[in-house]
């Protein structure tokens, strides 16, 4: 025999753990450690049969709430909520457990998992969700048995059957989950977006690049723009948005630069695009690198090939762009070299040394650029979006210490090294890549594709596009056998993002359109008189047979009786009409019409004869009467 | 459900597809649990076994037999309620009937169609209790509630009978005394063997308790109304037949000949149960 209570306690611990795990990396130390302690204490309590009284736990919960609520502001709302959820979960685990308390634990675990989705959008979420769904289903069923009898004990075969049926529920719920996920109504924009600000900064392109400000960047898959264009080679998919030309402390910013007469060569391949940006606060118009011309919107072409809209892009707009797939911006009349050689006040000695070697060994700017590439590659730095170096010496740590970083680190350090070595350099912010929609013939660019690269000025040529991120380990390398697994994981992530994370109103609408189109394309086979006659010759006798059977099986007396019973059931809803005798009904209702019906119908029934037409009419009148007088 | 609503609002507000996934999962789970709850109480048949004697107003033990007619799916936490009295079944395996007991008092005499049984269950999730009405085949004849009263002299059980009842003369009871033939006694009461030894005829005097058949005339019974008279009648029938007396019944137009068998007693009680009802 197995006690239902112990099964329920064990399941509850598992549910709480599944709720906590996805949220754990984003919690304060207090919450991070309180939960494991609570879990161990709950496990001990389960074995010893003791619990902590509510008189201790309720004030503790209030104090915890006050502690976290006191530090709450608009920016850390999510963090405070997540910590509080885990703390409440821990407290609930060690408290007394009634049916209501178990439900509270289940709800808190579910909220914890939901909160984790605001931090991390990885496919691992699906694993946690399915595990929680299974555990919750089984736990709720076991809780129902517990509510029936708290001391209930089940035999092993019985328990097996209960768990088996309970485990079937999430399996059966999966297809419904998929359908609902597709059809649940989406909105064009999040109505209430501040909760979406997770623990890290967004990776989207901004007008300020400051590597070392956060240890991680959150990769948001929200769509930034759609660009209708022919397909271009993958290595040319750089979407230019902004140029950051100056340093402010450790941050790259855009300041009004010197007047230059930039010229985009028209000799290379030209690509025309129609661009539909998602509404945003940024005024910069994005187009394939390097845009020659933007039309359809009032905009200013600034000196460094940056197009800026005159009005904010907070509504849905469209503009056309013509770009040259080139990596060169010529400048007639040269540039203000001094402006582009400014470096931060504090640069680490190791970086200065690296820059000195560049300038000593390289005779020309092009040589220095080649040497920079060799230097960065030799440092064997990995591309990463988490575990990034932080602090004022983040770039030094990136190049010589942790040797990992995002595109901001690669671009920022390379530009500074170039400037230190006497090569004018600036950062270009925009996006790299794009999902090409073959059917629609457009690129979809999402926020996580935000990218920063470098333009170095080479004398005699102009601003040359350089992407130092491409020098990171493994970038562009042919996949080795050992990489197969990673490739699969990447593909899984890609499809996860494609199918789930980026599913939005547009996709919903296009799905509906496709379905509508498919329905419209349905057509009946060509009309054939012979076929129709054959079909009718089958259908007509079949229909006649069905009608005859129905007519035979239910006599008109029986039909009338059913109508009568339905009418009585409607008029006297508290009575159980089925299987009651007619006279019994008449007596219980005290209704003269029911009584009259019973007498007329009964006389025919007990006389074993069919109803006379007059009687039939009378009975119908009575049924109408009963129907008309609803209480 | 509240949690799902909250998450649904959060999902719409944030546009976060993972929240939509959670909400879809919860809604899917609700749909499946609803379906499972519906299936759980479907395919059950209820039958009731009743004792031979059921009296109005007296608590009677009924045996409820519930069978799960589904092919594979067991039914869990089933409660079968008849006339407000529940019988619980933890697990009903397919095609393996189980029985439970109920104590029910029927309110009035007469023939009752057995009421529909209310099958309910909170399985699989204890948020709702689902109900279904299941017909119970058969009917029950409820005898009038017996009303006891002091039996007149000469009635009652012989073993507990009074002196008067033993002294009361009769034709079929036990031998009370033997006396001389007075003339007028029935021939069958003459004790021939004893008479042979004496000069006079000797006559057996039998007690009337077991000998006189009793014909109960319902309309002549005491009582303020018909129901009270029927109650006394029921009591009399039971007491007298159990005491070994032959009892008959005179209803308004009909007479049922006396007899002292059990089946006869049940027949009389049945007549009393239906007396005055169409």
Mean pLDDT per block of 10 residues along chain A (631 residues) reads 91 95 90 93 87 84 89 81 93 88 93 88 87 94 92 91 92 91 77 48 64 74 82 89 90 87 83 86 89 88 88 78 90 88 89 90 86 91 86 89 90 93 93 78 83 91 91 60 58 69 78 82 65 80 78 71 86 72 83 88 79 88 80 43
Residue B158's pLDDT is 45
In our burial notation (b when 16+ CB lie closer than 10 A, e otherwise), range B12-41 reads bbbbbbbbbbbbbbbbbbbbbbeebbeebb
Query: Chain B within 8 Å of A143 (Cβ-Cβ)?
Result: yes
Distance CA A329, CA A457 (A): 9
Query: Chain B within 8 Å of A439 (Cβ-Cβ)?
Result: no
Query: Chain A within 8 Å of B223 (Cβ-Cβ)?
Result: no
Q: How are beta strands A382-383 and A328-332 bridged, if at all?
A: unpaired
- Angular region, A228: left φ>0, alpha ψ -120 to 50, beta rest: beta
Residue of B2, B5, B22, B112 to mutate, testing the A interface (most A Cβ within 10 Å of its Cβ): B22
A–B: how many Cβ contacts below 8 A?
163
Contact B7 A110 (CB under 8 A): yes
Determine the number of helices (DSSP H) and then strands (DSSP E) in chain A.
Answer: 18, 25
Q: Which positions in chain B touch A144 (Cβ < 8 Å)? A: 77, 122-126
Distance CA A11, CA A5 (A): 10
Residue B161's pLDDT is 36
Contact B74 A581 (CB under 8 A): no
Q: Which two tokens stand for residue A565?
A: 């019973």
- Cα angle at A244 between A242 and A249, to 5 degrees? 145
Contact B126 A143 (CB under 8 A): yes
| Cβ–Cβ < 8 Å for A287, A278 | no
Q: How many other CB atoms sit within 10 Å of the CB of residue A379? A: 16
DSSP A77-131: HHHHHHHHHHHHHHHHHHB---HHHHHHHHHHHHHHHHHHTTT---THHHHHHHH
Q: How are beta strands A238-244 and B85-92 bridged, if at all?
A: unpaired
Q: Which positions in chain B touch A579 (Cβ < 8 Å)? A: 113-116, 135
How far is C-alpha A292 from the chain's CA centre?
Answer: 36
| Cβ–Cβ < 8 Å for A398, A211 | yes
Contact B24 A178 (CB under 8 A): yes
Q: Which positions in chain B touch A189 (Cβ < 8 Å)? A: 15
Q: Which positions in chain B touch A88 (Cβ < 8 Å)? A: none
Contact A579 B116 (CB under 8 A): yes
Query: Chain B within 8 Å of A137 (Cβ-Cβ)?
Result: yes
Query: Chain B within 8 Å of A82 (Cβ-Cβ)?
Result: no
According to DSSP, residue B141 is labeled E
Residue of B9, B15, B30, B123 to mutate, testing the A interface (most A Cβ within 10 Å of its Cβ): B15
- Could you tell me which residues are beta bridge partners of residue A22? none
Q: Which of residues 494-553 of A touch B (CB under 8 A)?
A: 500-504
Distance CA B69, CA B96 (A): 8
Q: Which positions in chain A touch B23 (Cβ < 8 Å)? A: 180, 184
Distance CA A149, CA A147 (A): 5
Query: Chain B within 8 Å of A141 (Cβ-Cβ)?
Result: yes
Instruction: Tell me whether the omega of the peptide bond preceding residue B135 falls within 30 degrees of 0, making it cis.
Output: no
Query: Chain A within 8 Å of B5 (Cβ-Cβ)?
Result: no
- Cα angle at A424 between A422 and A427, to 5 degrees? 130
- Could you tell me which residues are beta bridge partners of residue A3? A153
From the number of C-beta atoms within 10 Å of its C-beta (0-12, 13-18, 19+), residue A308 rates as middle
Contact A578 B135 (CB under 8 A): yes
Residue with tokens 């754990």: A24
Residue of B1, B20, B274 to mutate, testing the A interface (most A Cβ within 10 Å of its Cβ): B20
Residue B152's pLDDT is 65
Distance CA B236, CA B214 (A): 10
Nearest Cα to Cα of residue A598 among B259, B56, B278: B278
Query: Chain B within 8 Å of A170 (Cβ-Cβ)?
Result: yes
Query: Chain B within 8 Å of A136 (Cβ-Cβ)?
Result: yes
Q: Which residues of chain B have pLDDT under 70?
A: 1, 152-174, 207-211, 278
Residues in chain B, total = 278
Contact B124 A180 (CB under 8 A): no
Which residues does A289 contact at the CB level (< 8 Å), separation at least 6?
A236, A238, A239, A240, A323, A325, A327, A428, A430, A465
Nearest residue on chain B to A188, alpha-carbon basis: B15
Q: Which positions in chain A touch B31 (Cβ < 8 Å)? A: 173, 176
Q: Which helix (H) or strand (E) holds B235?
A: helix B226-242
Residue A474's pLDDT is 60
Q: Which positions in chain A touch B116 (Cβ < 8 Å)? A: 576, 578-579
Q: Which positions in chain B touch A143 (Cβ < 8 Å)? A: 125-126
Q: Please, where are the H alpha helices in A422-528?
A: 484-496, 505-521
| Cβ–Cβ < 8 Å for B82, A576 | no
Distance CA A132, CA A19 (A): 7
- Could you tell me which residues are beta bridge partners of residue B37? none
Contact B126 A147 (CB under 8 A): yes
Nearest residue on chain A to B115, alpha-carbon basis: A579
Nearest residue on chain A to B27, alpha-carbon basis: A177
Q: Which of residues 128-167 of B touch A (CB under 8 A)?
A: 133, 135
pTM of the full structure: 0.58
Which of A161, A173, A186 is closest, CB to CB, to B32?
A173
Q: Which positions in chain A touch B90 (Cβ < 8 Å)? A: 148, 152, 154, 158
Which of A110, A161, A187 is closest, CB to CB, to B91?
A161
Contact A118 B20 (CB under 8 A): no
Q: Which two tokens stand for residue B213?
A: 């058949």
For the stretch B39-88, pLDDT in tens is 999 989 998 888 888 999 888 888 999 999 888 899 999 999 888 889 99
In the three-class reduction of DSSP (H, G, I as helix; E, B as strand; rest coil), residue B188 is classed as helix
Distance CA A389, CA A398 (A): 6
Residues in chain A, total = 631
How far is C-alpha A75 from the chain's CA centre?
Answer: 21
Which of A111, A175, A190 is closest, CB to CB, to B13?
A190
3-state secondary structure A291-322: EEEEECCCEEEECCCEEEECCCCCCCCCEEEE
Maximum distance among all Cα pairs of chain A, rounded to whole angstroms = 123
CA–CA min distance B139, chain A (Å) = 10
Q: Which positions in chain A touch B27 (Cβ < 8 Å)? A: 176-177, 180
Q: Which positions in chain B touch A114 (Cβ < 8 Å)? A: 7, 10, 18-19, 22
Residue with tokens 């289903």: A137
Q: Which positions in chain A touch B115 (Cβ < 8 Å)? A: 576, 579
Instruction: Tell me whether the omega of the peptide bond preceding residue B159 falls within 30 degrees of 0, making it cis.
Output: no
Which of B17, B125, B133 is closest, CB to CB, to A500?
B17
Residue B160's pLDDT is 39
Q: What is the CA radius of gyration of chain B?
A: 32
Q: Which of residues 23-82 of B touch A (CB under 8 A)?
A: 23-29, 31-33, 35-36, 73-74, 76-77
Q: Which helix (H) or strand (E) holds A611?
A: none
In the three-class reduction of DSSP (H, G, I as helix; E, B as strand; rest coil), residue B86 is classed as strand
Distance CA A115, CA A565 (A): 54
Which residues does A339 contact at the CB level (< 8 Å), separation at least 6?
A245, A246, A257, A258, A424
Distance CA A575, CA A572 (A): 6
Q: Which positions in chain A touch B122 (Cβ < 8 Å)? A: 144, 147-148
The torsion defined by the Cα of A149, A151, A155 and A161, in degrees rounded to 10, comes to 40
B105 phi and psi, to 5 degrees?
-115, 125
Q: Which two tokens stand for residue A406?
A: 């995002």
Which of A141, A173, A187 is closest, CB to CB, to B15?
A187
Contact A578 B28 (CB under 8 A): no
Q: Which positions in chain B touch A185 (Cβ < 8 Å)? A: 12
In the three-class reduction of DSSP (H, G, I as helix; E, B as strand; rest coil), residue A363 is classed as coil
């Amino acid at each position: 025999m197995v006690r239902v209570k112990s099964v329920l306690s064990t399941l509850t611990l598992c549910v709480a753990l599944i709720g906590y795990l996805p949220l754990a990396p984003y919690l304060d130390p207090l919450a991070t450690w309180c939960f494991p302690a609570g879990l161990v204490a709950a496990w001990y309590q389960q074995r010893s049969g003791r619990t902590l009284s509510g008189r201790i736990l309720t004030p503790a919960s209030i104090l915890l709430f006050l502690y976290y609520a006191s530090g709450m502001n608009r920016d850390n709302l999510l963090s405070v909520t997540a910590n509080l959820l885990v703390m409440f979960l821990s407290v609930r685990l060690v408290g007394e457990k009634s049916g209501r308390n178990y439900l509270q634990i289940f709800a808190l675990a579910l909220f914890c998992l939901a909160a984790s989705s605001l931090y991390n959008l990885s496919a691992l979420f699906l694993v946690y969700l399915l595990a929680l769904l299974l555990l919750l289903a089984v736990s709720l069923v076991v809780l129902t048995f517990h509510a029936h009898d708290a001391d209930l004990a089940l035999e092993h075969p019985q328990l097996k059957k209960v768990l088996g049926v309970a485990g079937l529920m999430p399996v059966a719920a999966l297809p419904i989950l998929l359908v609902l996920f597709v059809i649940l109504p989406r909105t064009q924009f999040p109505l209430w977006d501040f909760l979406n600000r997770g623990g890290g900064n967004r990776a989207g392109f901004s007008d300020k690049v400051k590597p070392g400000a956060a240890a991680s960047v959150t990769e948001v898959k929200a769509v930034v723009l759609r660009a209708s264009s022919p397909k271009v080679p993958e290595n040319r998919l750089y979407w230019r948005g902004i140029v950051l030309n100056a340093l402010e402390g450790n941050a790259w910013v855009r300041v009004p630069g010197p007047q230059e007469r930039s010229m985009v060569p028209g000799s290379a391949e030209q690509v025309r695009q129609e661009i539909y940006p998602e509404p945003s606060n940024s005024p910069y118009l994005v187009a394939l690198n390097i845009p020659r011309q933007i039309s359809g919107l009032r905009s200013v072409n600034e000196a460094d090939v940056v197009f800026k809209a005159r009005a904010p892009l907070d509504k849905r707009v469209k503009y056309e762009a013509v770009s040259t797939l080139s990596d060169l911006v010529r400048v007639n009349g040269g540039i203000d070299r001094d402006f582009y050689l400014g470096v931060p006040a504090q640069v680490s000695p190791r970086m200065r040394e690296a820059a000195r070697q560049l300038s000593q060994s390289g005779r020309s700017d092009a040589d220095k650029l080649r040497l920079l590439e060799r230097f960065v590659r030799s440092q064997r730095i990995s591309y990463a979006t988490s575990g990034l170096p932080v602090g004022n010496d983040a770039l030094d740590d990136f190049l010589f210490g942790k040797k990992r970083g995002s595109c901001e680190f690669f671009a920022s350090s390379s530009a500074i090294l170039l400037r230190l070595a006497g090569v004018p350099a600036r950062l270009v912010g925009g996006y790299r890549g794009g999902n090409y929609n073959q059917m629609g013939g457009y690129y979809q660019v999402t926020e996580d594709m935000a990218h920063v690269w470098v333009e170095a000025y080479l004398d005699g040529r102009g601003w040359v596009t350089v992407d130092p991120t491409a020098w990171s380990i493994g970038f562009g390398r042919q996949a080795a056998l050992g990489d197969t697994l990673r490739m699969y994981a990447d593909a899984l992530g890609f499809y996860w993002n494609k199918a789930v994370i980026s599913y939005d109103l547009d996709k919903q609408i296009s799905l509906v359109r496709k379905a509508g189109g498919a329905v419209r394309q349905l057509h009946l086979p060509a009309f054939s008189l012979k076929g129709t006659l054959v079909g009718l010759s089958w259908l007509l006798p079949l229909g006649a047979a069905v009608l005859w059977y129905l007519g035979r099986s239910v006599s008109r007396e029986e039909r009338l009786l059913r109508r009568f019973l339905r009418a009585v059931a409607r008029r006297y809803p508290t009575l159980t009409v089925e299987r009651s005798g007619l006279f019994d009904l008449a007596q219980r209702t005290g209704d003269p019409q029911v009584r009259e019906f019973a007498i007329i119908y009964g006389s025919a029934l007990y006389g074993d004869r069919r109803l006379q037409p007059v009687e039939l009419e009378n009975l119908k009148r009575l049924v109408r009467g009963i129907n008309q007088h609803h209480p | 459900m509240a949690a799902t609503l909250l998450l649904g609002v959060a999902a719409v507000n944030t546009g976060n597809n993972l929240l939509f996934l959670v909400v879809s999962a919860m809604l899917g789970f609700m749909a499946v649990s609803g379906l499972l709850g519906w299936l759980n109480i479907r395919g059950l048949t209820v039958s009731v076994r009743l004792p031979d004697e059921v009296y109005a107003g007296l608590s009677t033990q009924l045996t409820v037999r519930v069978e799960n007619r589904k092919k594979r799916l067991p039914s869990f936490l089933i409660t079968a309620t008849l006339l407000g009295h529940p019988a619980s079944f933890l697990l009903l395996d397919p095609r393996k009937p189980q029985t439970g007991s109920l104590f029910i008092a029927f309110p009035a005499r007469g023939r009752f169609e057995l009421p529909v049984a209310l099958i309910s269950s909170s399985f699989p999730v204890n948020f709702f209790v689902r109900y279904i009405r299941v017909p119970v085949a058969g009917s029950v004849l409820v005898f009038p509630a017996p009303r006891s009263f002091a039996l007149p002299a000469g009635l009652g059980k012989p073993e507990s009978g009074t002196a008067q009842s033993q002294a009361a003369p009769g034709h079929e009871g036990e031998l009370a005394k033997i006396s001389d033939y007075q003339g007028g006694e029935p021939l069958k009461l003459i004790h021939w063997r004893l008479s042979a030894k004496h000069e006079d005829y000797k006559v057996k005097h039998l007690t009337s308790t077991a000998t006189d058949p009793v014909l109960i005339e319902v309309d002549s019974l005491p009582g303020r109304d018909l129901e009270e008279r029927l109650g006394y009648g029921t009591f009399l029938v039971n007491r007298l037949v159990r005491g070994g007396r032959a009892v008959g019944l005179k209803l308004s137009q009909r007479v049922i000949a006396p007899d002292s068998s059990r089946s006869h007693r049940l027949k009389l009680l049945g007549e009393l149960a239906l007396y005055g009802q169409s």
